[in-house]
């Protein structure tokens, strides 16, 4: 196994206070019910940003908590990598707004777009930057205001998503002769752009700008072929767990906690089964957050640490998939 080059020094999350339960959809005129949503997805409620809460502001709350726990001041950050599918503005990157908000004046800051797999992609990029000596202390954030890009008249998508942010500070590992050194043990990333139209926003970019979008067809909002996405999700998450375990020369039995992307309980269960990890070693919060896209794995990791489900020495596997398609996995020892 390779000597880890980077480790997770601290984590945090920024969650809007407002909760929308499955029962609240009736008042919004959405024809659905709690039983349908829970049986198909496992989701019971999700957090929704207020008008005052942005992708940047939620990211800042998560980042400050992660930096405090890592004992890192804003001026010590070399790089900020922010993953989002819901940037506050199309230009510039939300990462520079976050940089300004934190006062991280030395940092290079940029966004990554890899949808729901984005936090693992961003963490892999950060690890690579540390390995090549570009930086020693890197802030990685996944932040999403999904409520602003979902179609609240489409019951097959609007019940699935929620808002929030999660963050981690990655630091360069100190060379160690420990038998079980802490840090990132393996990473794996893949994409398949031939599947792009299964989950996308047709308008709002440069091919169909907002000014030319047919506003009535709500083409600037998320469109999803749910069943197809489901099939590919199970396949790609399973593939990703295999690859990370192989790279780290581990098996499912070595994993103390599996943190899958929180999109759907049935996808989580299928992934855990494939990876041979029992459900008591799987972190689940999809019931309380819904799908927070690239924030999901980061929020779950932060909660798991807070609840003592990740301790010093724990071997944790992260795995996610998202629009693109993108999929990725990572094994981290704490």
Whole-number minimum distance, CB 42 to ligand COA, in Å? 10
Show contacts with ligand COA in window 50-109 (CB under 6 A). none
Q: Is 261 a catalytic residue?
A: yes
- The number of C-alpha atoms within 13 Å of 88 and in the hemisphere containing its C-beta is 19
Q: Is 264 a catalytic residue?
A: no
Q: What are phi and psi of 156, to 5 degrees?
A: -80, -15
In the complex with ligand COA, the residue whose CB is nearer, 110 or 230, is 230
What is the rounded end-to-end Cα distance, in angstroms, of the chain? 16
Site string for ligand COA, 307-326 (x = CB under 6 A): ---------------x----
Q: Strands (DSSP E) along the chain, which ranges? A: 6-14, 19-21, 45-47, 79-83, 108-112, 137-145, 163-172, 183-191, 199-200, 223-224, 257-260, 315-322, 326-333
Alpha helices in 25-174 (DSSP H): 34-41, 55-70, 94-102, 118-131, 155-158
Show contacts with ligand COA in window 176-205 (CB under 6 A). 199
Query: Is residue 17 a contact partner of residue 132, using CB atoms and an 8 Å limit?
Result: no
Site string for ligand COA, 249-288 (x = CB under 6 A): --------------xx------------------------
Q: Kindly state whether residue 36 participates in binding ligand COA, applying the rule CB under 6 A.
A: yes
Query: Is residue 134 a contact partner of residue 78, using CB atoms and an 8 Å limit?
Result: yes
Q: Quote the CA–CA distance of 81 and 79 in Å, as a whole number.
A: 6
Q: What are phi and psi of 284, to 5 degrees?
A: -130, 125
Q: Given the structure tokens 């006062």, which residue do they identify?
A: 103
What is the size of the binding site for ligand COA (CB under 6 A)? 21
Contacting residue, 108, 110, 149, 155, with ligand COA by CB under 6 A: 155
Q: Kindly state whether residue 40 participates in binding ligand COA, applying the rule CB under 6 A.
A: yes
Q: Kindly state whether residue 16 participates in binding ligand COA, applying the rule CB under 6 A.
A: no
Whole-number minimum distance, CB 75 to ligand COA, in Å? 36
In the complex with ligand COA, the residue whose CB is nearer, 5 or 83, is 83
Q: Which residues are catalytic?
A: 116, 261, 291
Binding site for ligand COA (CB under 6 A): 32, 36-37, 40-41, 116, 155-156, 159-160, 199, 224, 226-227, 229-230, 233, 263-264, 291, 322
């Amino acid at each position: 196994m390779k000597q880890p080059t980077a480790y997770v020094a601290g984590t945090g999350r920024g969650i809007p206070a407002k909760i929308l339960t499955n029962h609240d959809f009736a008042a919004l005129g959405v024809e659905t019910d709690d039983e349908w949503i829970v049986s198909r997805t496992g989701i019971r409620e999700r957090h929704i940003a207020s008008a005052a809460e942005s992708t940047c502001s939620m990211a800042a709350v998560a980042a400050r908590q992660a930096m405090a726990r890592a004992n890192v001041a804003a001026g010590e950050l070399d790089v900020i990598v922010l993953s989002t599918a819901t940037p506050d503005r199309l230009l510039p990157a939300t990462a520079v707004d976050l940089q300004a908000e934190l006062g991280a004046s030395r940092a290079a800051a940029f966004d990554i777009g890899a949808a729901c797999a984005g936090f693992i992609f961003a963490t892999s990029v950060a690890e690579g930057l540390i390995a090549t000596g570009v930086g020693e202390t890197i802030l990685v954030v996944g932040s999403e205001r999904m409520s602003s890009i979902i179609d609240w008249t489409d019951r097959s998508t609007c019940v699935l998503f929620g808002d929030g942010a999660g963050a981690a500070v990655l630091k360069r590992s100190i060379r160690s002769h420990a038998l079980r050194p802490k840090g990132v043990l393996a990473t794996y990333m893949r994409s398949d752009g031939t599947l792009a139209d299964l989950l996308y926003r047709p308008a709002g970019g440069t091919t169909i700008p907002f000014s030319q979008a047919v506003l009535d067809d709500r083409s600037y909002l998320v469109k999803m072929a749910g069943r197809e996405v489901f099939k590919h999700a199970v396949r790609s998450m399973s593939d990703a767990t295999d690859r990370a375990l192989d790279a780290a020369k581990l098996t499912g039995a070595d994993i103390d906690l599996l943190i899958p992307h929180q999109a759907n309980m049935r996808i989580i269960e299928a992934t855990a089964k494939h990876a041979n990890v029992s459900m008591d070693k799987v972190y689940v919060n999809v019931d309380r957050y819904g799908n927070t896209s690239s924030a999901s794995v980061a929020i779950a990791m932060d909660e798991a640490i807070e609840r003592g489900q990740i301790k010093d020495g724990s071997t944790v596997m992260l795995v996610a998939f998202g629009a693109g398609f993108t999929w990725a996995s990572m094994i981290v020892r704490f």
